[in-house]
Amino acid sequence: MHVTIVTAFPEFFGDFLSTSILGRAVKRGLVRVDLVDLREFGRGGYRQIDDYAFGSGGMVLAAPPLADALRAAGELGEGDPFVVYPSPQGCVLTQEIVESLTRQEHVVILCGHYEGLDERFVEREVDLEVTVGDCVLTGGEIPAMAIVDAMSRLVPGVVGRGEAVAEDSFYRGMLDHPHYTRPASWEGRTVPEVLLGGNASEIHSWRRAKAVERTLARRPDLLSRAAIRGYLTGNVYLAVMGDAEVFPPPFVSDVRRLCRTYGLGRPVFVVTDREGRRSLESAAGAEGDPVLSPKIFGSLEWAIDWIERKEKGAPLLRIAVLDAACRGSLHALEVKRRCLEHPGPVLLLFPVLPEEWRGLEGGFLVAGLFDGGETLPLTARAAVALDRILGGR
């Protein structure tokens, strides 16, 4: 990871780059942070880097010294740098943006001051404007430190435990679970009993449930980009329903691949025609994958009964995913919320024809995730729906 910071106050970063986790990462060569003093490129005897704004207003950092400083910063790395400008007008910094920045060969961060940077320079040179929140700071140095700190956590070896990064808030789009340390009792408040018992599986389940509870209560807006599969309490099953002739030979492989990609249980096929089931069983047997070999049933009731027996009676959340939104159907975000709140397995049913599932089994919620347009192939619909509902990184 290589970052260069262009600033009029390089001394601001002394302790930041030599202290704690980041300081150790810099010393070990895992993170490289260069500083370019903008004042070295100022004009005149006073090294002027700013001037009055046209049309009245405060001081603005001028384009000529900024361009010279950026050119010098670019020479410290290979190729064209990716230029970031912390600004109240920028998009909000997110974990996804941080991950994208970490993948760049060389990131240059321009620290603004006063009223900001000359807009002509911004338009020509800046690749990304970001803000750390809906507030105004005196300069870009604090946001620059936040960006560098967030990026460094994603560099292998910087944080001691790799799983600690994966458990961070926002890493999977969810908030983190609560944390406690000694003493076990403090001023009448005790640590949850499950954390004192030493059962790793129970602790993991508790933490996962608390992360879900926090996210739904405090930041439900995060669900749109959350990868929720690891936070569900039960298995997820993908079932497709229709006549065997609409399932071409590669179809079984595609469905199995989807189940593997999203960490689902064995794929389920519901085919009412006996000869169709035999044909599908023959095609599935040729695949030779016992781990995700499909289960083929003659009715939806039998498929549901198999899942419930396999899950030892846990309540099953049944969701029919249709081609288009209809009266009473759920938005994808609402489906995600229902899945997170449900204390058991989930069945996502994809009927080839929407009317096929009606009347066969009650208790289904309806997800209408596709709004008009040409109908996609069934595997494409399933892939889009799984990504919208379960999410992925």
Mean pLDDT of the chain: 91
101 within some domain: yes
**What gap in Å lies between CA 358 and CA 363, rounded to an integer?**
10
Within this chain, do residues 331 and 269 fall inside the same structural domain, yes or no?
A: yes
Within this chain, do residues 209 and 307 fall inside the same structural domain, yes or no?
A: no
Within this chain, do residues 201 and 280 fall inside the same structural domain, yes or no?
A: no
**What gap in Å lies between CA 382 and CA 112, rounded to an integer?**
46
312 within some domain: yes
Question: 48: which DSSP letter?
Answer: B
Give pLDDT, residue 57.
85
**What gap in Å lies between CA 7 and CA 250, rounded to an integer?**
57
Q: Is 309 a catalytic residue?
A: no
Give the residue among 121, 49, 125, 117 at the shortest CA–CA distance from 84.
125
Amino acid at 201: S
The verdict on whether omega for the bond into residue 183 sits within 30 degrees of 0, i.e. cis, is yes
Q: What percent of the chain has pLDDT over 70?
A: 92
Q: Is 103 a catalytic residue?
A: no
Domain that holds residue 250: 230-389
Phi, psi of 91 (to 5 degrees): -75, 155
Within this chain, do residues 321 and 380 fall inside the same structural domain, yes or no?
A: yes
Within this chain, do residues 245 and 214 fall inside the same structural domain, yes or no?
A: no
Q: How many CB atoms lie under 10 A from the CB of residue 108?
A: 27
Contact 358, 320 (CB under 8 A): no
Give the residue among 367, 354, 382, 239 at the shortest CA–CA distance from 301.
239
Q: What is the CB-side half-sphere exposure of residue 286 using CA atoms within 13 A?
A: 10
CATH number at residue 359: 3.40.1280.10
Count of domains observed in the chain: 3
**What gap in Å lies between CA 282 and CA 18, rounded to an integer?**
65
Give pLDDT, residue 250.
83
Within this chain, do residues 239 and 350 fall inside the same structural domain, yes or no?
A: yes
**What gap in Å lies between CA 47 and CA 43, rounded to an integer?**
5
59-61 and 50-52 strand pairing: antiparallel
169 within some domain: no
What predicted TM-score, i.e. pTM, was given to this entire model? 0.84
**What gap in Å lies between CA 81 and CA 73, rounded to an integer?**
8
Give the residue among 315, 319, 328, 325 at the shortest CA–CA distance from 357.
319
| Catalytic-labelled residue, pool 34, 115, 361, 387 | 115
Phi, psi of 390 (to 5 degrees): -90, -30
Within this chain, do residues 194 and 238 fall inside the same structural domain, yes or no?
A: no
177 within some domain: no
Question: 354: which DSSP letter?
Answer: G
Overall average pLDDT of the 267-278 stretch: 90
159 within some domain: no
* Banded model confidence at residue 347, pLDDT cuts 50, 70, 90: very high
Q: Which of 95, 130, 152 is the last residue of a domain?
A: 152
Q: Which of 131, 152, 173 is the last residue of a domain?
A: 152
| Catalytic-labelled residue, pool 37, 40, 68, 168 | 168
Q: What is the pLDDT of residues 6-63, one digit of tens each?
A: 999 999 999 999 999 999 999 999 999 999 999 999 999 889 999 999 998 899 999 9
Within this chain, do residues 119 and 264 fall inside the same structural domain, yes or no?
A: no
Q: Is 274 a catalytic residue?
A: no
Amino acid at 294: P
**If residue 279 lies in a helix (H) or strand (E), which one and from where to where?**
helix 274-287
* Banded model confidence at residue 193, pLDDT cuts 50, 70, 90: very high
Q: What is the pLDDT of residues 235-264, one digit of tens each?
A: 999 999 988 777 777 888 899 999 999 999
Within this chain, do residues 234 and 190 fall inside the same structural domain, yes or no?
A: no
173 within some domain: no
Within this chain, do residues 101 and 210 fall inside the same structural domain, yes or no?
A: no
Q: Is 214 a catalytic residue?
A: no
Within this chain, do residues 280 and 371 fall inside the same structural domain, yes or no?
A: yes
* Banded model confidence at residue 165, pLDDT cuts 50, 70, 90: confident
Q: Which of 173, 193, 226 is the last residue of a domain?
A: 226
CA torsion through residues 163, 168, 174, 175, sign: positive
Within this chain, do residues 12 and 122 fall inside the same structural domain, yes or no?
A: yes
Beta bridge partners of 185: 190
114 within some domain: yes
| Catalytic-labelled residue, pool 50, 86, 129, 153 | 153
Q: What percent of the chain has pLDDT over 90?
A: 75
The count of residues in the chain is: 393
| Catalytic-labelled residue, pool 37, 39, 47, 88 | 88
**What gap in Å lies between CA 33 and CA 387, rounded to an integer?**
36
Give pLDDT, residue 172.
79
**If residue 265 lies in a helix (H) or strand (E), which one and from where to where?**
none
Q: Would you state the structure tokens that stand for residue 374, as one six-digit string? A: 């040409």
59-61 and 364-368 strand pairing: unpaired
Q: Token match 């047997």: residue?
A: 285
162 within some domain: no
Q: What is the pLDDT of residues 96-150, one digit of tens each?
A: 999 999 999 999 999 999 999 999 999 999 999 999 999 999 999 999 999 999 9
Phi, psi of 319 (to 5 degrees): -130, 120
